[in-house]
């Protein structure tokens, strides 16, 4: 499948039913080993991979002997705390067998909605994959309440894809894709192999989950797909039940492909362009030349700071004549930039007392107008 073979950043969401076999109450270790082999092949193709994995609560409830289907919030949080350790160990083990380092990253909805925490999470994930690490992302169920939770890992996977600028997202579960109707009931139901737009008619085709450990269903997958495709990330829904699920997809296994409407970087820059700025930074002519060449804005090129803003806020970049030149998300607050403007990076670290970001505004977080 071309979409997978040419992907630069690939997010793979693993459903609970793929990780944990409830019929025998065990982690599917052989399946996990086959997934690790698939990830190694992807990395050899120069594809960065991030996993978003369910399964912590299913594993934890088995260890704790919590048999009933509907757990209270407190019971779910306890099960997640116990299960997360076992889940992380399983991933660390199978990935180490193929020479890959794993990292655990726990997120809440607040991490994607608070701009500062969003940027911190984005920076951490991008640093991990730049170091060759495969992050294993899960919702931080132990601290998440109903008000600050994603509720399902389909939405979480979509937000991670948007956060890191991924071009492909695979939602693996126990279904082949999106059908025109429920194939278990309607024998005339047909699999939709390619979807260019998620219309109300498409949304009405979605059903709900039947698995007792799963929070999402096709409806949540379509919500996730809609968010991701609007942000420039194509989405694939397919069954991951068989061993080597990524290889099976490449060989042509049944799936539904939701095509992205744009590319991730263009989508991100359109998002930045639409923001209301919180302040301004005046830069010199040398910095103007550098930015036009696709460089990031460094502290040495800053001449003046106007307004009050925090790290992660959108600000306007103006030239020496106060003409608007660009917009961007800033890596320092206004008081810090006042201290380091006109200084080189190594001088900035000495002034601030810590090693901060390498740029005042990174080129990927900037739109030249």
Domain edge (last residue) among 269, 285, 314: 269
Q: What is the pLDDT at residue 151?
A: 60
For residues 236 and 155, state if they share a domain: yes
Q: What is the pLDDT at residue 206?
A: 80
Domain edge (last residue) among 201, 234, 269: 269
Q: What is the pLDDT at residue 131?
A: 97
Q: What is the pLDDT at residue 70?
A: 78
For residues 200 and 348, state if they share a domain: no
Q: What is the 3-state secondary structure (H, E, C) of the chain?
A: CHHHHCCCEEEEEECHHHHEECCCCEECHHHHHHHHHHHHHHHHCCCEEEEEECCHHHHHHHHHCCCCCCCCHHHHHHHHHHHHHHHHHHHHHHHHCCCCCEEEEEECHHHHHCHHHHHHHHHHHHHHHHCCCEEEEEECCCCCCHHHCCCCHHHHHHHHHHHHCCCEEEEEECCCCCECCCCCCCCCCCECCEECCCCHHHHCCCCCCCCCCCCCCHHHHHHHHHHHHHCCCEEEEEECCCCCHHHHHHCCCCEEEECCCCCHHHHHHHHHHCCCCCCEEEECHHHHHHHHCCCCECHHHEEEEECCCCCCCEEEEECCCCCEEEEEECCCCHHHHHHHCCCCHHHHHHHHCCCCCCCCECHHHEEEC
For residues 224 and 139, state if they share a domain: yes
Q: What is the pLDDT at residue 8?
A: 95
- Give the chain's domain count: 2
pLDDT tens for the chain, 369 residues: list them: 788 889 999 999 998 889 999 888 899 999 999 999 999 999 999 999 999 998 998 899 999 998 766 788 888 889 989 999 999 999 999 999 999 999 999 987 767 767 778 888 988 999 999 999 999 999 887 776 554 456 678 989 999 999 999 999 999 988 899 998 888 788 888 999 999 999 989 988 886 544 444 445 888 899 999 989 988 999 999 999 999 999 999 999 999 999 998 888 888 888 888 888 999 999 999 999 999 999 999 999 999 999 999 998 999 999 999 999 999 999 999 999 999 999 988 888 889 988 778 899 999 889 998
For residues 162 and 213, state if they share a domain: yes
Q: What is the pLDDT at residue 207?
A: 62
Domain edge (last residue) among 244, 269, 294: 269
Model confidence, pTM: 0.82
- CATH of residue 350: 2.30.130.10
For residues 255 and 319, state if they share a domain: no
- CATH of residue 61: 3.40.1160.10
Q: Which pairing describes strands 280-283 and 302-306: parallel, antiparallel, or unpaired?
A: antiparallel
For residues 240 and 353, state if they share a domain: no
Task: Please tell me the distance from the alpha carbon of residue 148 to that of residue 159, in angstroms, as a whole number.
Answer: 14
Q: What is the pLDDT at residue 219?
A: 87
For residues 20 and 133, state if they share a domain: yes
For residues 256 and 282, state if they share a domain: no
Q: What is the pLDDT at residue 71?
A: 84
For residues 303 and 241, state if they share a domain: no
For residues 254 and 297, state if they share a domain: no
Angle, alpha carbons 53-265-39 (nearest 5°): 35
Angle, alpha carbons 275-281-284 (nearest 5°): 130
Residue 9: domain span: 2-269
What tokens appear for 82 in the block? 């116990």
For residues 212 and 179, state if they share a domain: yes
């Amino acid at each position: 499948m071309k979409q997978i073979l040419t992907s630069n950043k690939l997010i793979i969401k693993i459903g609970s039913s793929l990780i944990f076999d409830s019929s025998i109450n065990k982690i599917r270790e052989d399946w996990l080993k086959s997934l690790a082999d698939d990830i190694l092949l992807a990395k050899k193709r120069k594809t960065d991979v991030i996993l978003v994995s369910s399964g912590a609560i299913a594993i934890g409830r088995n260890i704790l002997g919590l048999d009933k289907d509907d757990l209270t919030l407190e019971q779910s949080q306890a099960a997640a705390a116990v299960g997360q350790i076992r889940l992380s160990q399983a991933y660390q083990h199978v990935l180490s067998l193929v020479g890959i380092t794993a990292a655990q990253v726990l997120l809440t909805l607040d991490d994607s909605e608070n701009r500062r925490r969003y940027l911190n999470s984005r920076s951490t994930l991008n640093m991990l994959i730049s170091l060759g690490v495969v992050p294993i992302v899960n919702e931080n169920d132990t601290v998440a309440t109903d008000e600050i939770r994603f509720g399902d890992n389909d939405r979480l996977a979509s937000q991670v894809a948007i956060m890191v600028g991924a071009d492909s997202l695979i939602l693996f579960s126990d279904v082949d894709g999106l059908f025109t109707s429920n194939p278990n009931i309607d024998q005339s139901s047909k699999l939709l192999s390619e979807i260019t737009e998620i219309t109300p008619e498409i949304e009405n085709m979605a059903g709900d989950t039947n698995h007792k450990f799963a929070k999402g269903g096709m409806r949540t997958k379509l919500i996730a797909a809609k968010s991701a495709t609007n942000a420039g990330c194509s989405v694939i829904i397919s069954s991951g039940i068989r061993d080597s699920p990524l290889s099976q997809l490449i060989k042509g296994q049944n799936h539904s492909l939701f095509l992205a409407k744009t590319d991730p970087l263009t989508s991100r820059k359109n998002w930045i362009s639409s923001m209301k700025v919180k302040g301004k930074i005046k830069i010199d002519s040398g910095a103007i030349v550098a930015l036009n060449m696709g460089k990031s804005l460094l502290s040495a090129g800053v001449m003046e700071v106007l307004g009050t803003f925090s790290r992660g806020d959108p600000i306007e970049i103006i030239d020496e004549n106060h003409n608007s030149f660009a917009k961007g998300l800033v890596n320092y607050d206004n008081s810090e930039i006042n201290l380091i403007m006109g200084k080189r990076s190594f001088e900035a670290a000495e002034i601030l007392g810590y090693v901060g970001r390498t740029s005042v505004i990174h080129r990927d977080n900037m739109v030249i107008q």
